[in-house]
Amino acid sequence: MFRKWLFLVLATLLLTGCGNSPEIKETEVVKKQYQASFLNLFDTVTTILGYAETEEEFEKITDDIYTKLEKYHKLFDIYREYEINNIKTINDQAGIAPVEVDEEIIELLLDCKEYYYMTGGKVNVAMGSVLNLWHEAREDGVDNPLESYLPDEAALKEAALHCDIEDVVIDEEASTVYIADPKLRLDVGAVAKGWATEKVCREIPEGLLVSVGGNVRATGPKPGDIPWVVGIESPWKENSDYVHTLYVNRECVVTSGDYQRYYTVDGETYHHLIDPETLYPGKKWKAVSVVCEDSGLADALSTALFLLSKEEGEKIAKQHDAYVMWIASEEEIYYSDGFETIIKR
């Protein structure tokens, strides 16, 4: 049906509601931990961890999660056409006509406008024309490293003239989206995975850990009220796999870093997190991790805070009850109030 691998991860039996009990009573439900992985959603790896009495029970849960995520994958795609109107459809009709879309696209774009003003324009889904120039250069550079190049400066400046979020006209009553500027293009990559993950996780059973391309969301603790442990990948993998591991129950963990998607030009690396002000990759941080209760918000915050100073980012994070870790170098790691309380010691 689709590419999925399902296997038993933990052979140890855990008891619902009494994970530390040494005895198994006949009346108690024995559950095992399972894991499922998908390779074809949001062009990344999706992994689901959880507990169930049988493999069949867990597979039914993961099939449902896959179906829900697949819908969002198709709706938010900017490169491919499907049987439904999606973000690509809206882009193709820029300056031509409004496009009737599913309510999920309306909700996403309304939230994206909020993220734009919340972050002072650092998260701008109307920057597709600029981001596409970097995407093309990065793809060419990865395929042909010896011929890698930077986007043309004049082309970047021209594209930047067509990034006004208010040119994205949303009619909630008619359920349509119209791009008033023919040269503006939407790119929801900064928030789509986290936003979709959050929506899906609100509709699935408790006690799961869902990771969509590293956007991690827990829907509740493990059996026995035991928190999940989530690792934050080290930008310097040769030294350690993780910078920290964190305890989470119903929170999400999202990281933006300069080591995730990048290419090299003349010995210098250029990553995918583009600052709307400079039109070039941000240079303030190596990585920024955000922990909060909403994966869509965390996705937006991690992108914005990567491009902002610690002082500016801390102010925004505090307004939204988010914990943050900023990494400048191996010797320079900073934490917002509360972050260190969830670090596994």
The structural domains of the chain, with segments of one domain joined by +, span: 1-76+189-223, 87-179, 227-345
227-345 CATH pick, 3.40.50.10540, 3.10.520.10, 3.40.50.510, 3.30.230.10:
3.10.520.10
Q: Helix, strand, coil % (nearest 5) of the chain? A: 30, 30, 40
Residue 123: alpha-carbon gap to chain centroid = 13
- pLDDT greater than 80 at residue 15: no
Q: Which residues partner with 63 through β-bridges?
A: none
pLDDT of residue 258: 93
So what's the pLDDT on residue 20? 36
What does pLDDT average to over the chain?
Answer: 91
Rounded Cα–Cα distance for residues 188 and 106 (Å): 12
Tens-digit pLDDT profile for residues 165-190: 999 999 999 999 999 999 999 999 99
* pLDDT value of residue 13: 31
Report how far residue 9's alpha carbon sits from residue 245's, in angstroms, rounded to the nearest whole number: 19
Residue 83 CA, chain-centre distance (Å), reads 25
Cβ count near 73 (within 10 Å): 24
CA nearest neighbour of 79 among 94, 69, 70, 92: 92
pLDDT score of 139 more than 90 = yes
The pLDDT-based confidence of 330 (bands split at 50, 70, 90) is confident
Per-residue DSSP letter, 219: S
The fraction of the chain above a pLDDT of 90, given in percent, is: 85
Tell me what pLDDT residue 40 has.
Answer: 87
* Spatial contact of 181 and 162, defined as CB atoms under 8 Å apart: yes
Mean pLDDT score, 19-25: 37
pLDDT band at 116 (very low <50, low <70, confident <90, very high): very high
Q: Are 258 and 286 in contact (CB under 8 A)?
A: yes
**pLDDT reading at 306 higher than 70:** yes
Q: Cβ(47)–Cβ(215) under 8 Å?
A: no
The amino acid occupying position 37 is S
Q: List the beta bridge partners of residue 210.
A: 48, 217
**Mean local confidence (pLDDT), 237-252:** 87
Decide if pLDDT at 2 tops 50: no
pLDDT for the residue 240? 66
DSSP 276-314: TTTSSB--S-SEEEEEES-HHHHHHHHHHHHHS-HHHHH
CA angle centred on 260, ends 255 and 261, rounded to 5° = 130
Quick one: 87-179 is in which CATH superfamily?
Answer: ApbE-like superfamily (1.10.3980.10)
Higher-scoring residue by pLDDT: 126, 237: 126
Burial per residue of 299-315, b for 16 or more beta-carbon CB atoms within 10 angstroms, e otherwise: bbbbbbbbbbebebbbe
d(CA 13, CA 142): 45
DSSP three-state, residue 235: coil
- Report the distance separating Cα 259 and Cα 273, nearest Å: 10
- At 274 the pLDDT is 97
Q: Is the distance from CB of 255 to CB of 324 less than 8 angstroms?
A: no
pTM over 0.85, yes/no = yes
- Three-state secondary structure of 313-341: HHHHHHHCCCEEEEECCCCCEEECCCHHH
Go through 175-209 and write b for each residue having 16 or more CB atoms within 10 A of its CB, e for each that does not: ebbbbebeebbbbbbbbbbbbbbbbbbeebeebbb
Rg (CA), the chain: 21
Task: Provide CB contacts within 8 A for 84, sequence distance 6+.
Answer: 74, 75, 102
